[in-house]
Amino acid sequence: MSGPGEGGSAGVLLIDDDPAIRALLRQTLSHAGYGVSEAGSAAQALAERAARAPDLALLDLGLPDRDGLEILPQLVAAGVAVVVLSARDATAEKVAALDLGASDYVTKPFDPEEILARVRTALRHRARLAGGPGGQAVLRFADVEIDLAARQVRKGGAEVHLAPKEYAFLAELAGNPGRVVTHAQLLRTIWGPGHETDVEYLRVAARGIRRKLESDRPPGQSALRNEPGIGYRLDLTRG
């Protein structure tokens, strides 16, 4: 999936204070065809952003001069898709980054394949936000089709009736395929402001969706994946 040339002309800015990690990421990304630039500090990152206008930034939050969360909004405002590099135990930090407009996150230590997958997803998301091609009217995983235009969900060709909130939940994830959407974002969009902490609504809706669409799947193979403490992700590679 990560053959040379997939990146096209997209530019990626690596922001991490560790040169070894930057070298590894540069290797992975340039091999996949991305144009790579590097920054070892927040100040350098902002300078590189201005000089090269990258499409995406891989941002480590522990920078020597400033907290990565401080420069994240500036990058997002400049139209850069941001994928955050963060430690496994930094759940709150990840949620904060996503709430500040980060497109996604990758947990350290990362798998280069996972980095590429997240970068691809984030770039597609950015293209959709810009109104370009990439928005799909019909999304497919396994034998399930989500027809966003017709507001229909089909399994094996037959329409499946989802409850309104279940559909809204699935549609929200389908609108961000492969990308994590935080619990609070989902709850705000679907149930409205004031429901950001009613996580149990999501649990119940997710169960309903799985029961109706994935009852024939082996246990543990749901495409509707929960990231503990963070949010949900529709994993189209599952199936």
Q: Is 64 in the site for other proteins (CB under 8 A)?
A: no
Tokens found for residue 236: 């189209």
Closest of 105, 122, 113, 123 to residue 182, by C-alpha: 105
The count of chain residues that interact with other proteins, using the rule CB under 8 A, is 43
Do residues 162 and 153 lie in contact, with contact meaning Cβ atoms separated by under 8 Å?
yes
User: Per CB under 8 A, does 88 bind other proteins?
Assistant: yes
Q: Tell me which of 3, 9, 20, 133 binds other proteins, using CB under 8 A.
A: 20
Contact pick of 52, 66, 151, 207 for other proteins (by CB under 8 A): 207
Q: How many other β-carbons are positioned within 10 Å of the β-carbon of residue 219?
A: 6
x/- track of binding to other proteins for residues 137-176 (CB under 8 A): ----------------------------x-----------
Q: Which of 201, 217, 236, 239 binds other proteins (CB under 8 A)?
A: 201
Q: 108: which 2 tokens?
A: 């350290």
- Does residue 108 touch other proteins according to CB under 8 A? yes
User: CB under 8 Å to 132, separation ≥6 — which residues?
Assistant: none
The two beta strands, 152-155 and 144-147, are: antiparallel
Q: Which amino acid is at 129?
A: L
Residue 52 or 207: which CB sits closer to other proteins?
207
Shortest separation between residue 109's beta carbon and other proteins, angstroms: 4
Which residue, 109 or 131, is less far from other proteins as judged by CB?
109
Alpha carbon 56 to its chain centroid, in Å, reads: 12
- Is the distance from CB of 60 to CB of 38 less than 8 angstroms? no
- Residues near other proteins, by CB under 8 A: 18, 20-21, 23-25, 27-28, 62, 87-89, 91-92, 108-113, 165, 183, 191, 197-201, 203-207, 210-211, 219-220, 222, 225-229
